[in-house]
Amino acid sequence: MDIDQQLLAAAERLFDRNGFNATGMGKLVREARLSSRTVYKHAGNKNALMARVLSERHRRFFEHTDFSTTTALFDSLAEWFAAEGIRGCLFFRAEAETGGDIPEIAAEVAAYHQQLIEHIAELVVRETGQADTQLADQILALFEGATTAATYRGAAVIDAARSCACQLVNARTRP
């Protein structure tokens, strides 16, 4: 693992588990097992590092997630949680902690959310044969709701969201 990968992995672990504000650069230095000089050389600053973490998380999430069907989408969420742990959406948490006031973080959060709704809208077209903004928003709400509710209800809430989303899609595809 090169220094950049080592630093990003440590930063993602800390930001995901402890939050942006609670993760100081000293903690990052210790977690990454690098000198503070090396961390600052590769990270720039904490805001830039968080933006890089979000960019990498974005890439990994979309590589992992199957948007081919509604069932596959929610199955992917369950698999993500099994591999990554259930802590909710890092993008929502980063935006909430920073208030959307840090441009590089806000840009990464916006890019993630834009790609998510675009993929869900495309899924709706594939499954129903037509664009349906309301249905895409309903599936998005169920997906994001399951992401959050799973933190206190457990992964079983994903099954409930999947079932509801599939019912909505099926209602739109019946003649």
48 vs 173: CA distance, rounded Å: 45
Question: Does pLDDT of 174 surpass 80?
Answer: no
CA neighbor of 7 nearest in space, from 36, 34, 44 = 34
Mean pLDDT, range 153-167, rounded to an integer: 97
103 vs 119: CA distance, rounded Å: 24
CA neighbor of 56 nearest in space, from 4, 121, 125 = 4
Q: Do domains 1-44 and 47-173 have the same CATH topology?
A: no
2 vs 42: CA distance, rounded Å: 11
Q: How confident is the model at residue 175 (pLDDT cuts 50, 70, 90)?
A: low
Mean pLDDT, range 145-167, rounded to an integer: 97
Break the chain into its structural domains and give their ranges.
1-44, 47-173
3-class DSSP assignment, residue 26 = helix
CATH number of 47-173: 1.10.357.10
Q: In terms of CATH architecture, what is 1-44?
A: Orthogonal Bundle (1.10)
- The number of angstroms, rounded, from the C-alpha of 33 to the middle of its chain's C-alpha atoms is 26
